[in-house]
Each structure stands twice: as structure tokens, then as C-alpha cells.
Amino acid sequence: MSLGLYRVAIAVLTAIFSLSGALKVVDPLAFAAVIDGFPGMGRTASVALAYYLPWLELISGCALLLAPWRRGGLLLLATLTVLFSGALVLNLLVGSSSDCGCFGAADSGTSPLVSLFRNIALLGLTILLLRRDLPR
């Protein structure tokens, strides 16, 4: 991957994850209702995750802009994307049509399947950048 392409990819990931995190930070209870729709989730866990995950996403996204923190940020974003994708797969398996609310209220028209494909694409890009950044 050329340096130019690498910088563009970092900028794209920063924008996507920071925006996604910020949109959920402003309305944690709406995100909590989405999480609560996933199988096995209780109210306390849903509310706790709804407050925590958006901040994790937002700060990890911003960390990509700082070279020394980039690998840590990419590692967390890859983990988060795997978790979100796993939850979406679980939701699809039990036949729920609930969307992931990945972009807060702005994401309300997206189907779970589209969200899953989007997550897989983001995960692929994150892993690609992580592999490039790891010392050889």
C-alpha cells in the first residue's frame, strides 16, 4: 500500500468511527434501546454499554490521527467491529429485524444485513492497516 493510499485509508476510518461514536454519544438511551433488543441483554448491561462503547469508538477513531497511538486505536476498532458483527449475526439468526444503530438515529433506515456487510468491509480495512503498521 502506497503512503498516499495509507493516509487516505486512515482519514476515512477516522471520519467513519469518530462520526459513528459522536452520533451515539449524544443520545446514549436511544443506543441502549437498540442494544437491549439483542438476545441475552439486560437493562443494566445495555445502559452501561450504551454509555461506554460510543466513547471507545470516538476516542479510538481520533487516536488514528496520532501516529504513536494508531496501532492501539486500530486494535480496539478491529475488536469493536468483530463484536458488533457478532451481535448482528446473532440478531439475524433469531429473526430479529432490529438494525445495529451503528450511526445512532441517522442509521435508522439501514437493514441488519447491510450493516453486517459494512462492518465486514470496515474490519477488512482495519486489519489491512493494522498489518501494515505492525513491526516486521
Partner 1 sequence: MNPIRHAAVIACLAALSAALQFLSLGMGSELPDHIHYDAQTEISIRDVANLESLPLWVDARSRTDYDRGHIPGAIHIDHGAWDVGLPQLLASWKPNRPIIVYCSSEECEASKGIAERLREGGLEPVMTLRGGWAAWVEVHP
Contacting positions for partner 1 (CB under 8 A): 25, 27-34, 36-37, 43, 46-47, 51-52, 54-56, 58-60, 63, 68-69, 71-76, 94-99, 101, 104-105, 107-109
The answer to whether 53 and 76 are in contact (CB under 8 A) is: no
Tally of CA atoms within 13 A in the half-sphere of 68 that contains its CB: 0
Closest approach of partner 1 to the CB of residue 119, in Å: 16
CA distances from 122 to 27, 51, 58 (A): 23, 22, 15
Closest approach of partner 1 to the CB of residue 20, in Å: 13
The answer to whether 57 and 131 are in contact (CB under 8 A) is: no
The rounded distance, in Å, linking the Cα atoms of 4 and 107 is 30
Copy the grid coordinates of residue 27: 443520545
Closest approach of partner 1 to the CB of residue 11, in Å: 19
Q: Based on CB atoms, which residue is closest to partner 1, 4 or 136?
A: 136
Q: Based on CB atoms, which residue is closest to partner 1, 4 or 68?
A: 68
Backbone angles phi, psi at 135, to 5 degrees: -65, 140
Q: Based on CB atoms, which residue is closest to partner 1, 46 or 85?
A: 46
Closest approach of partner 1 to the CB of residue 128, in Å: 16
Closest approach of partner 1 to the CB of residue 93, in Å: 10
Q: Based on CB atoms, which residue is closest to partner 1, 27 or 128?
A: 27
The rounded distance, in Å, linking the Cα atoms of 47 and 52 is 9
